[in-house]
Structure 1
Amino acid sequence: MIKGNFIPINFLGLDENSSRFETSKVVILPVPFERTVSFGRGTSRGPSSIIYSSRCLELYDDELGCEPYTCGVHTLAELECGSVDPAHMVSAVSEACSQLLGLNKFIITLGGEHSITLGAIKGHKTRFKDFSVLNLDAHCDLRDSYEGTPFNHACVMRRVLEEGYNVVEVGIRSYSKEEAEFIKGNKNLKVIHAREIFKSKNQEWMDEVISSLLPQVYISVDLDVFDPSFVPSTGTPEPGGLGWYDVTELIKTVFKKRKVIGFDIMELAPASGIVGPDVLAAKLAYKAIGYKFSKK
């Protein structure tokens, strides 16, 4: 169904019995698209690096007390869209997600640049009518257009808002004057700055996030939400970011209190000799699987 280059290893290095498409509840959709990056490059290698790095993960999750992979995790071929323009990429990702959702799969999309998320959300719109978008990011990505295209990675959440969804952004610490003015006038947008999280007591910020979300939620993680000490390998790193437990505790809480309908991880730009960020991204994907399907 998905045409493209096969990555010669399954996510987590799973054998065929644990990764058959027909019986797997989860599908990993790699989208190596990189056309509108504006600083550091290399996000097209992100999906394959995450999948290769996942081999080093323990299958047992000590937090959840189970092996989440037993729900079945199938790794798809890379989606062919590297040579197309961003608008066509969005359509291709949307169509792929729509087909997979029609087969009752939970999709984890791996990018690639953040503009991919728009396609994934459009695809989920064909199956789920009302949902919030939770965007974990250093940047608002609310520009109307950037570097000649409205489908730039710096515009993705602006396009999502135009689809009619409410958006909650967490970890924000960099945006333009144009975006600041847009934030003030948009009732469908909630922004939680990284500095608010740093100053917050007793997880008040997390309660604010949860209360802003509809019963169904799509989660997008731009890896630059993490502090560069955790993830230096991203196209536009920003100091003052979140830590591992900030992110995983939030995601776990959202999975517990809301129905999460889809999940993506974007903007890994693998760097030679630095494997930590690749492993972090792989473990984050595995955590999402555990939070979705474990009974704990």
Structure 2
Amino acid sequence: MSELDFLLRSWVTFFGCETPSENAEFFVFGVPYDLTSSFRAGSSQGPEAVRKFSANIEANSYRKFFDAAKAAVYDGGDIVVDIDIQVMLKRVAQLVAYVGRLNKIPVMLGGEHTFTYAAVKTLADKISSLIVFDAHFDLRDEYLGSKFSHACYLRRLVEEFPTLPVAVVGVRGYDLAEILFAEQNKVKYVKASELHDFSRVLRILSDVIDGGRPYVSVDIDVFDPAYAPGVGNPEPEGADPSTVFDLLHFVGRRRPVMFDVMEVNPMFDSGVTAALAAKVVMELIASYPER
């Protein structure tokens, strides 16, 4: 991987896995960057915290048997941080393209949600749809003077890829302009208060995915702060883990081209959010059908 001189391996790997890169199905990497965070910075520490807790939780799922010790997971480490977000977006795009050429599934740990933009843009011709689990729409035209931030990335994607089907699940923090933009641009959404109607949520996801392979993005603040207090922008009345995990297994059976878990901020709790994020990754990996 000499072409990826901006990638630095960590002393701790996800699940403690030591699968050689050539034998891996999943390629994990972190983006420890949070310079556009608007409220509580600290998600730059997220990737390392998620790795740490992944090695210290029971890596199994009662939804489907999963043995993390035998999982074909390679941890490539973290992208070396440059203060310029455009440089970071380029590095994410370059790494995602590289992993795709190896015919492996990229798994991104964040870090702020902005970098989902670079990953989706890189894979736009390979994904059928974008499924986002998030407390927020992230559809603002700009935020704090920037058009590239955690609050704007999805708007940029919808503008650049107007035919890409998009669904946002668990949303509960938004303004009127974002709702109008979503409806005008056919962005499907499920409010957190509507998650109890599980069959309806599954119908929406099925319609958006439409038999293809989606990109799945999980902002950890989709969960209620009771479960995930360690986030940059907490919103009450969020989702519970069981509901989200069931939905992730539903979309995971479609073999997502890539997935990410973003916005983990270990600066604001004792580790429960990082543990939950590690479980999200584990559940998604477990959900993939065997080849």
TM-score range with shorter-chain normalisation? over 0.9
Partner of 1:254: helix, strand, or coil? helix
Give 2:193's aligned residue: 195
Counting matched residue pairs gives 285
| Identical-pair percentage | 32
Give 1:216's aligned residue: 213
What pairs up with 1:43-62 in 2 under 5 angstroms?
Answer: 43-62=43-62
Give 2:157's aligned residue: 160
Give 1:290's aligned residue: 286
**Contact 1:64/1:294 (CA < 8 Å) preserved in 2?**
no
What pairs up with 1:5-154 in 2 under 5 angstroms?
Answer: 5-14=8-17, 16=18, 19-80=19-80, 82-125=81-124, 128=126, 130-154=127-151
Distance 2:191 2:227 in 1: 18
Distance 2:273 2:59 in 1: 19
Structure 1: tracts of 5 or more residues without a match: none
Q: CA deviation at 1:184?
A: 2.7
Per-residue deviation, residues 209-268 of structure 1 (Å, max 9, x unmatched): 222223120000000100000000000000010010111111111122x33111000000
Change (3 A) 1:272 1:183: closer
**Contact 2:229/2:269 (CA < 8 Å) preserved in 1?**
no
Match of 1:277 among 252, 273, 283: 273
TM-score, structure 2 as length reference: 0.92
Change (3 A) 1:102 1:69: farther
TM-score, structure 1 as length reference: 0.91
1:267 and 2:270 matched: no
Q: Which moved more, 1:95-104 or 1:143-152?
A: 143-152
Distance 1:55 1:293 in 2: 23
Distance 2:221 2:273 in 1: 10
Q: CA deviation at 1:205?
A: 2.1
Partner of 1:184: helix, strand, or coil? helix
Q: CA deviation at 1:35?
A: 1.2
Q: CA deviation at 1:60?
A: 4.2
Partner of 2:8: helix, strand, or coil? coil
1:248 and 2:284 matched: no
Q: CA deviation at 1:277?
A: 1.0
**Contact 2:65/2:286 (CA < 8 Å) preserved in 1?**
no
Distance 2:289 2:16 in 1: 19
Per-residue deviation, residues 249-290 of structure 1 (Å, max 9, x unmatched): 11111122x331110000000036611111110111011111
Structure 2: tracts of 5 or more residues without a match: none
CA RMSD of aligned residues (A): 1.7
- AA in 2 matched with 1:205: V
**Contact 1:71/1:293 (CA < 8 Å) preserved in 2?**
no
Distance 2:195 2:51 in 1: 31
Distance 2:47 2:235 in 1: 22
Distance 1:59 1:276 in 2: 15
